[in-house]
Chain A
């Protein structure tokens, strides 16, 4: 019998929360898993679907404010499942809109309260300026992180989470401090799309490694394509260099 090397990636709400190239994050995980000799399986979860039991990585993206309203009830129903998985060390990547909803709440600019699911100790307040532009941030864990932000919600972290990175260019979580994103267990949360993972493969590899360890006890890449991986790291390095020089 051949060894099971299947890793299942679940994209949360691709219909409503997939507006800034979030598919790119899923694609990068899928291809890198393949290149490391794992068998990736990609599934989608939309409001009303049955939640699969054997998920290994969860990816959630950004959406319009109206999209957040559409999914919020379904997300509340899913909250205990997602909380349990996050506590259990399941690697998750949540960007922009779903990042906000992974916090305690999002109070809109008009004062309405959209409850979050509280996996991340943080709150988001709708602002009157929209924070838009190229971002360069630096993380102890992942090095320089390049991306693009476009949000009006401003997020403030509580003591229960750490920021993902420090801002060098752009705004990040809010206009008050220089934090960007949040880290908790194996959850990586960020305002940056771009897409995030192609230009920041260190984060992709972190998610893959954690998924493999959680499922199989160890991460054992059997590289089927050293050449592909080498070319990729060259291309992503060049893309990072160019991105870093672009105006806000």
Chain B
């Protein structure tokens, strides 16, 4: 039975690849004909399953964790971007298992969407989980962020050994109280950086009351600059160069370090770990830099107010042309309210060159109320992007975009430049 379903799955996978799409379809087929496929395949991994979840930064953090563990000589199976649902995991497995169902790996590190993770962990209990944050994201799916917290709590409680938690996010840190025997490990920020990473409760002023984190953290991010960061580990400060851009990615680097240290345990090659960290490239669309007409073009994915605020803070507007593309498709979230919780004043001086996407006019209205000049409003992303590139000769470009807007931008860009293909 197993080799039959794997063969069918692999065939569907090749076929759908030829058609150029549908990364989850083969997973769906295998789920139908062989529901036990994922559990059975992952059950024998010597280090078990490690899950990464949270509202923001899953993709980049998972990528970092994988590369950090690989630096320690581990063979890691992971689900790459695109479909982090159960069937996405099944589809990714199909690409790597032998026909006899064997997966040649020491550990599986899986990025899981909060809601889907809850189903997944019922099927397969992770040995380790990393819970990043609970930001005001996808409220049109979850209703309330307290609900999202409860989803993460279920992942934590299904974990068999260790849960790694963000000490600075009160909702995530609070999950420690609901643990039922799992060990809690924290990653955190130095006090001097806390105001740089406002959580949702601090979005409106009241930073004076910023929480004083009390838990001892395994990894603390101490300092961030454009190209490097200091991490406090085992009482020592370690400086690392970084290819990742954006302060949120660098905080997630602290998360990934804490997770990798937890998984690897005692016999860690610290130099190899930091060498790997310094070489991690951003995941697609997450501070990714492409070249168009000889100029750098950066894509910054924005999905919620905290992320957009951090994006604006991380990437100085000076010297760049700016485009913002906002869609409200299901995968972006249909609710546009969050745009009003982002402060756009940092764009006022240079203005925004093109505002695009389905909700271009909502965005333009938002900018107008912050006195940010907008040069062109073009809801059609293809036309907007053409205009943006044409009007930015000799100037580096930056595009802030929601998820489906990013996919559209990448599709257009792939016609004029080389864009990484994510399978």
Contacts and interface: CB of A to CB of B under 8 A. Distances in A.
Interface residues on A, range: 35 or more
Given A18-B204, A148-B337, A239 B143 contact: no
Nearest to A20: B337
Interface residues on B, range: 35 or more
B205 A199 contact: no
B104 interface: no
Interface in B297-343: 328, 334-341
Interface stretch (A1-9, A21-29, A208-216): A21-29
B344 to A, nearest CB: 11
Interface in A168-200: 193-195, 198-199
A44 B140 contact: no
Nearest to A241: B361
Contacts of A14: 204-205
B362 interface: yes
A241 B140 CA distance: 21
A228 B362 CA distance: 16
A228 to B, nearest CB: 8
Given A20-B337, A21-B341, A232-B369, 10 more contacts: A14-B205, A21-B337, A64-B145, A150-B140, A193-B337, A232-B368, A235-B365, A243-B336, A246-B358, A247-B334
A68 to B, nearest CB: 11
A104 to B, nearest CB: 23
A150 B143 contact: yes
Nearest to B204: A14
Given A14-B204, A199-B365, A235-B368, A21 B146 contact: no
Contacts of A198: 340, 362, 365-366, 369
B334 A232 contact: no
B334 A21 contact: no
A65 interface: yes
Contacts of B339: 21, 24
B379 interface: yes
Contacts of B136: 19
A132 B361 contact: no
6 contacts: A15-B201, A19-B200, A24-B339, A28-B369, A64-B146, A246-B358
B340 A130 contact: no
Interface of A: 14-15, 18-24, 27-28, 31, 44, 46, 64-66, 130, 132-134, 148, 150, 152, 193-195, 198-199, 228, 231-232, 235-236, 238-239, 241-243, 246-247
B7 to A, nearest CB: 40
Given A23-B204, A246-B328, A239 B337 contact: no
B335 A150 contact: yes
Contacts of B362: 198-199, 239, 242-243
A195 B201 CA distance: 18
B127 interface: no
Given A18-B203, A21-B339, A195-B337, A64 B144 contact: yes
A169 to B, nearest CB: 12
Contacts of B200: 19
B335 A242 contact: no
A126 B384 CA distance: 44
B361 A242 contact: yes
A236 B365 contact: yes
Nearest to A151: B143
B140 A133 contact: yes
> Which of A23, A27, A232 neighbours the largest number of chain B CB atoms within 10 Å of its CB?
A23
Contacts of B338: 20-21
Given A242-B362, A243-B362, A15 B340 contact: no
A246 B334 contact: yes
B364 interface: yes
Given A23-B341, A46-B206, A133-B140, A238 B361 contact: yes
A15 B143 contact: no
Nearest to A62: B337
B377 to A, nearest CB: 8
B237 interface: no
A48 to B, nearest CB: 12
B359 interface: yes
Question: 10 closest A-B pairs (Cβ-Cβ)?
Answer: A24-B340, A21-B337, A21-B340, A239-B361, A238-B361, A20-B337, A195-B340, A14-B204, A235-B365, A193-B337
Contact of B334 (A15, A22, A133): A133
A235 B359 CA distance: 11
Contacts of B377: 238
Nearest to B201: A15
Given A21-B339, A194-B337, A31 B361 contact: no
B97 interface: no
Contacts of A132: 140, 143
